[in-house]
Structure 1
Amino acid sequence: MSSMGTIVAIITVLGSLFLVTRGSTFQSMKASQTVKLAAIWAAIILGLVLLISFLQH
């Protein structure tokens, strides 16, 4: 996947996560819990991007 494709994929995943969490119980969470959950998702996404990049080379 080219770097432009990777960027589009990341933006798509983040947009999907935003749409999923808009109407759920995430809005009632404390700010610290939200930041922790966002950090976990960011680590998962970054790990997957690095894995895909590594497997292609």
Structure 2
Amino acid sequence: MTAIDDLVNEFVREDGFFFGLHHRQLDPVAAERALQALKRTEIGTDHGANYRLADNLFHAMLN
């Protein structure tokens, strides 16, 4: 799995960081997992991965 996949997982997992925030719950373990994935994430030449990342981040800002 790539770093982008790991970060996207935090949006869709029931125990993921962003899912928890949406429900006003902060899980420190999920927060650390999301932070580590974010630190490893780079925009690269995989356009599909870049699109998934941008799509998830954009929708997170709108919610």
Q: TM-score category by the smaller chain? A: 0.3 to 0.5
Tell me which of the two structures has the higher relative contact order, counting C-alpha pairs closer than 8 angstroms and 6 or more residues apart.
1
Larger Rg: 1
Higher helix share: 1
TM-score by length of 1: 0.32
